[in-house]
Amino acid sequence: MARRRYRGKKRRTNRSSYYLGLMLIAVGVWWVVTTLFPNQTYTVPDWRGMDKPIFVQGELKEHPALGSGEELLLPITVIQESVDANIRYEQETESIIITTSESVFRMKMDSTKGELNGKTVTLPYAPELVNGIAYVPLKPLKQHYGVAVHEDSATGAVILMRAGDAIQLAKAAPGKPEDTVALRESGEKKSPIVLDMPVGERLRVWREEEGWLFVQADNGYTGYVLKEQIELGELKEIPYLKQTPSRAELEWKGKSVNLVWEAVYTKNPSTDSIGELPGVNVVSPTWFSIVDGEGTVKSKAVKQYVSWAHNRNKEVWGLMDNSFDPDLTTEALSTFDRRSHIIEQMLAYAKQYNLDGINIDFENVYTKDKDHVVQFVREMKPLAKARGLIVSIDVTPKSNSEMWSLFLDRKRLGETVDYMMVMAYDEHWATSPKAGSVSSLPWAEQSVRRILEEDAVPPSKLVLGVPLYTRVWTETSEAGETKVSSKAIGMEKLQALLKEQKVKGSLDAGTGQNYVQFMEGESIKKIWMEDGTSLQSRVKMAKKLELGGIASWNRSFAVPETWHVLKTIHD
Write the pLDDT tens digit of every residue in 493-505.
999 999 999 999 9
Q: Examine the domain organization and report whether 233 and 372 are in the same domain.
A: no
Q: For residue range 341-366, list pLDDT tens digits in order.
A: 999 999 999 999 999 999 999 999 99
**Three-state secondary structure call for residue 498:** helix
* Distance from C-alpha of 235 to C-alpha of 61, rounded to nearest angstrom: 24
User: Are residue 354 and residue 442 in the same domain, yes or no?
Assistant: yes
- 372 and 286 together in one domain: yes
CB neighbour burial string for 458-486, b if at least 16 within 10 angstroms, e if fewer: eebbbbbbbbbbbbbbbbeeeeeeeebeb
- What is the C-alpha separation between 558 and 260, in angstroms, rounded? 10
Statement to judge: residues 155 and 303 lie in one domain: no
pLDDT digits (tens, 9 = 90+) for 109-160: 999 999 999 999 999 999 999 999 999 999 999 999 999 999 999 999 999 9
Buried b (16+ CB within 10 A) or exposed e, 93-127: bebbbbbbebbbbbbbeeeeebbbeeeeeeeeebb
The answer to the question of residue 252 being in a domain is no
Give domain status of residue 505, yes or no: no
Is residue 33's pLDDT more than 60? no
- Kindly state whether residue 496 falls inside one of the protein's structural domains: no
Q: How many domains does the chain have?
A: 3
- Per-residue pLDDT at 12 exceeds 70: no
Residue 8: what pLDDT? 53
DSSP state of 405: I
The answer on 135 and 196 residing in a single domain is: no
Q: Which run of H or E residues covers position 257?
A: strand 257-262
At 513 the pLDDT is 98
Instruction: Please check whether residues 153 and 174 belong to one and the same domain.
Output: no
pLDDT tens for 507-516 read 999 999 999 9
In the predicted model, is pLDDT for residue 5 greater than 90? no
Examine residue 322 and state whether it is found in any structural domain, yes or no.
Answer: yes
Domain that holds residue 109: 54-161
* pLDDT for the residue 223: 98
CA–CA distance, 460 with 188 (Å, rounded to integer): 50
Where is the domain boundary, 161, 186, 220? 161
How many CA within 13 A on the CB side of residue 265? 2
pTM over 0.85: yes
Does residue 46 fall inside a structural domain?
no
Q: Long-range contacts for 458-462 (Cβ within 8 Å, ≥24 apart)?
A: 458/414, 459/545, 459/546, 459/547, 459/548, 460/546, 460/547, 460/548, 461/414, 461/417, 461/418, 461/419, 461/420, 461/548, 462/414, 462/419, 462/420, 462/422, 462/545, 462/547, 462/548
105 and 130 together in one domain? yes
- Higher pLDDT pick, 12 / 329: 329
Of 11-25, 85-99, 259-273, the poorest mean pLDDT is in: 11-25
Q: Nearest CA to 552 among 394, 402, 381, 405?
A: 394
- Three-state SS for 9-33 is HHHHHHHHHHHHHHHHHHHHHHHHH
Query: How many angstroms separate the CA atoms of 345 and 338, rounded?
Result: 11
Same-domain status, 406 and 308? yes
Q: Residue 4: is its pLDDT beyond 50?
A: no
The identity of residue 1, as a single letter, is M
Same domain, 544 and 419: yes
d(CA 23, CA 19): 6
Q: Where are the alpha helices (DSSP H) in 37-173?
A: 76-82, 138-145
Question: Residue 2's pLDDT band (boundaries 50, 70, 90)?
Answer: very low
Determine the average pLDDT of the residues in 308-328: 99
Question: Are residues 448 and 533 in contact, defined by beta-carbon separation less than 8 angstroms?
Answer: no
Kindly state the average pLDDT of the residues 559-570: 98
CATH number of the domain that 171 lies in? 2.30.30.40
In this prediction, residue 19 carries a pLDDT of 66
- Greater confidence (383 vs 31) lies with 383
Q: Do 351 and 368 belong to one domain? A: yes
* Omega cis (within 30) before 554: yes
35, pLDDT greater than 60? no
Answer yes or no: is pLDDT of 17 > 80.
no
Closest CA to 231 of 165, 193, 174, 159: 174
Task: Count CB neighbours of 37 within 10 A.
Answer: 10
- Asked whether residue 154 falls in the same domain as residue 170, the answer is no
Are 311 and 459 in a shared domain?
Answer: yes
* Model pLDDT for residues 173-189, shown as the tens digit of each residue: 987 888 899 999 999 99
